[in-house]
Structure 1
Amino acid sequence: MLFLLVCLPGVVLSQDVSFIALGDMHYDRLQDHNLDFVMSRPQDYKQILNEYPQYTAFYMPRFLQLIKKQTNAQPGVKAVVQLGDLVEGVAGSAALARQMNRGIVDMLYETGLPVPWVLVKGNHDVSNSPGQPEAWQEVIRPFIEGQIGKFIGHGMYTYQISPNTEFFVLDQFFSVDRNLPESEMVDFLENAFKGSTATYKFVLTHQPVIPVTQRCWHLLSGIRRPLKDTVLRESLLNILAKNKAIVLCAHLHEYSVLSRKTKSGNVVQVMINSVNRGLNTPLPNVIHREYKGEGWIDSDASWQPETSETRRKILREEKKHITDFQLMDLPGYALISVSDKTPQVTLKYFNGFAEVPYQTIDLSKLMLTGKLPF
């Protein structure tokens, strides 16, 4: 446990520990792209030409200053976590990829946080673009290691922010980077959990573990990468539940909280999005509280029809295990706090540039009961 000594001899009080969590940010500048290459990637062309460079220029510096303000204002903040897709990628050349990464590293340094950055590798960070994975190794990896004071290799590592609170950071297994066998993430977590003495465990991953939309862009889905071991995902979910590890993820540009039952208990997953499209983020018009499963595919049958039957099967099965769920379009940031006194893990989610939370959820209770408080 972590204790704070007070002036009375022999008296100790437990101390809350917190961290701030950010989702996708997609730092981008037009000068960091070979535009001929970008035009060959129609799925990225529109966003690069019309969205991310503008968001970066107008909103990201202010957002990072807000995060700095909150690290000082909120009690016990020990780190700021960013859950992948820190940059847009798709630079088009090795030199431009390094230039893009140096740009975001400079911005993070200039923010002047009083606590370390803990970064997760996203698919855009090592996208299928010349030199992108190497640029991550040459620029982003040394930045992370300087922040947390330890070697992280290719991006799968652990980091403690207190004796009782530990992060377990996964590599990305979505786009072609090192093309690791997916069994490595399960082996990593199983071994790291065995060696951990922390009560509070957080698995930091860019791709979600549990699907929250009809796209099924989650780890071990078997869609983008054939899954040879059909029980591997079940093993992963049971390892998470057994160790009471809370999953923090991003990737889908939505805010979501859910609970999923396994044979070993419930798994809680929180998804965060930090792509701010304005200074005043409106509250969501629609909050999805029903996990529709294969019903999502029926509502958007035009999206990748060649995989619809596979996704339908995945979501039909997944729906059987979801105990509670919410999903909304609400970019922002999260403050997650743990208490040794209760014990308790609390999520406060802030919309956009807000300084008071939009929503507060007791994640410990959600893990125990499988039910959200509304």
Structure 2
Amino acid sequence: MHYDRFEDHDMDYVMTRPQDFAQIMNEYPQYTAAYMGKFLQLIKKQTTTINPPVKAVVQLGDLVQGVAGNAALARQMNRGVVDLLHATELSVPWVLAKGNHDVSNSPGQPEAWEEVIRPFIEGQVGKPIDSGMYTYKLGENVEFFVLDQFFSVDRNRPESEMVAFLEKELKNSSAKYKFVMTHQPVIPVTVRSWHLLSGIRRPVTDPKLRTRFLNLLAKHKAIVLAAHLHQYSVVSRNTPQGNIVQVMINSVNRSLTPPEPKNMSTEYKGGAWVDENPEWQPSNQDVRRKILEEEKKHVNKFWIADLPGYAVISIDDSKGEVMMNYYNGFSEVPYQSVSLTELQQLKK
């Protein structure tokens, strides 16, 4: 959601980071002031009116914009968003994942997450959460497996720890329905090819680690909930152990009027995305083209759009079906309804 206020930044520091400077001057403080409080009240309303009753609200990282510039302002920013979440007064817990902006490479930002955001999450889920990698169970049948962000250098945690964590926790889980929460996607769905174990931002020393990771998710039928790329996307991707279904959400609202989708596509173009966007990081074009062409071979179903909003995921245990309704912007009527269970069962 990128909570932000101008007073939470050392602007002299921000000016040394041109991309962040542009976002802070032109986007996130304005969106926060105009829309975020109203959006959270809509989320609260939905938790009280939807049937079956909502049991938790999941937020998939980049809770704050970050890049405060010093430790005091980083804590101030985080306290501001925690106060806002408390003021929303949900009757159900927040389940939060860590995003790269939450622990951005800015003075004091990782420490502020540990000091302010981490205790908030622990209060919501009622257990220690390590440094952002934890599990949370809803009743007997539903469990979340929340990953650290493995992107910015806050703790520089090796990605093998992520796979080891999931191997242990998924094996030990008695839940019928499993959801892996990760800020950075598992399956690449844009030209940037930003996804876990891509080897682009962080070298991967074990070339078999991603295959092990994907097969693990498919074996346990874990549905992936992701964010990071500011797009709405759903993809079904096959592995030898079955399909992985990934849902990607963006909740940076720019209007109170429910938006129409922009750049909607149902074609997973693979390497053609790179050829169509040669200006994006030409230094790693060949690597990204190879990755995306390989992924294309395994994609069963795909769509993507610039369409901020929120999703409601419901489970009908009598049918063994997981459904997702996606709402565009502030709409209270679903834009799209998708059976995630059907996507798990698709054949190439």
CA contact (8 A) 1:164 1:197 kept: yes
Superposition deviation, residue 153 in structure 1 = 1.5
Q: Distance in 2 between matches of 1:68 and 1:98?
A: 26
2:33 to 50, 57, 64: 57
Structure 1 equivalent of residue 143 of structure 2: 166
> Amino acid of the residue matched to residue 27 of structure 1?
Y
2:134 to 150, 157, 175: 157
> Amino acid of the residue matched to residue 89 of structure 2?
G
Structure 2 equivalent of residue 31 of structure 1: 7
> Amino acid of the residue matched to residue 315 of structure 1?
L
2:84 matched to 1:121? no
> Amino acid of the residue matched to residue 228 of structure 1?
T
Structure 1 residues 101 and 370, CA gap change in structure 2 (3 angstroms): farther
Superposition deviation, residue 161 in structure 1 = 1.2
Superposition deviation, residue 148 in structure 1 = 1.1
Residue correspondence of structure 1 range 231-242 to structure 2 within 5 A: 231-242=208-219
2:163 matched to 1:186? yes
Residue correspondence of structure 1 range 91-240 to structure 2 within 5 A: 91-240=68-217
Q: Distance in 2 between matches of 1:130 and 1:271?
A: 29
What TM-score results when the alignment is normalised by the length of structure 2? 0.99
**How many residues in Structure 1 have an aligned counterpart in Structure 2?**
347
Q: Distance in 2 between matches of 1:81 and 1:258?
A: 19
> Amino acid of the residue matched to residue 40 of structure 2?
L
Q: Distance in 2 between matches of 1:249 and 1:208?
A: 5
2:45 matched to 1:69? yes
What TM-score results when the alignment is normalised by the length of structure 1? 0.92
> Amino acid of the residue matched to residue 276 of structure 2?
S
Q: Distance in 2 between matches of 1:316 and 1:286?
A: 21
Q: Which SS does the other structure have where 2:212 is aligned?
A: helix
Q: Distance in 1 between matches of 2:341 and 2:305?
A: 22
Q: Which SS does the other structure have where 2:236 is aligned?
A: strand
> Amino acid of the residue matched to residue 337 of structure 2?
T
2:31 matched to 1:42? no
Q: Distance in 2 between matches of 1:291 and 1:234?
A: 20
CA contact (8 A) 2:262 2:307 kept: no
Q: 1:31-70 CA deviation, whole Å, 9 max, x = no partner?
A: 0000011000011111101110000000000000000000
Q: Which SS does the other structure have where 2:244 is aligned?
A: strand
Superposition deviation, residue 287 in structure 1 = 1.6
Q: 1:116-172 CA deviation, whole Å, 9 max, x = no partner?
A: 000000000000000100100000000001111111120100001121000000001
Q: Distance in 1 between matches of 2:301 and 2:9?
A: 42
| Runs of at least 5 residues in structure 1 that lack an aligned partner in the other structure | 1-24
1:367 to 340, 344, 348: 344
Structure 2 equivalent of residue 8 of structure 1: none
Name segments (4+ residues, structure 1) moved above 4 Å: none
1:300 to 259, 273, 277: 277
CA contact (8 A) 1:281 1:330 kept: no
> Amino acid of the residue matched to residue 28 of structure 1?
D
Structure 2 equivalent of residue 255 of structure 1: 232
Superposition deviation, residue 288 in structure 1 = 0.6
Q: Distance in 1 between matches of 2:123 and 2:81?
A: 15
108-117 vs 362-371, which moves further: 362-371
CA contact (8 A) 1:324 1:370 kept: no
Q: Distance in 2 between matches of 1:165 and 1:282?
A: 32
Superposition deviation, residue 238 in structure 1 = 0.1
Superposition deviation, residue 286 in structure 1 = 3.4
1:287 to 264, 281, 285: 264
Q: Which SS does the other structure have where 1:78 is aligned?
A: coil
Q: Which SS does the other structure have where 1:235 is aligned?
A: helix
Q: 1:70-117 CA deviation, whole Å, 9 max, x = no partner?
A: 000112211000000000000000000000000000000000001000
Superposition deviation, residue 289 in structure 1 = 0.4
> Amino acid of the residue matched to residue 200 of structure 1?
Y
> Amino acid of the residue matched to residue 34 of structure 2?
F
Q: 1:257-277 CA deviation, whole Å, 9 max, x = no partner?
A: 010000000000000000001
Q: Which SS does the other structure have where 1:239 is aligned?
A: helix
> Amino acid of the residue matched to residue 278 of structure 2?
A
Q: Which SS does the other structure have where 2:31 is aligned?
A: helix
Q: Distance in 2 between matches of 1:262 and 1:153?
A: 30
Q: Distance in 2 between matches of 1:284 and 1:131?
A: 37
Question: How many percent of aligned residue pairs carry the same amino acid?
Answer: 68
Structure 2 equivalent of residue 268 of structure 1: 245
1:326 to 278, 296, 303: 303
Q: Distance in 2 between matches of 1:317 and 1:342?
A: 34
> Amino acid of the residue matched to residue 65 of structure 2?
E
Superposition deviation, residue 283 in structure 1 = 1.4
CA-based RMSD? 0.8
Q: Distance in 2 between matches of 1:140 and 1:211?
A: 28
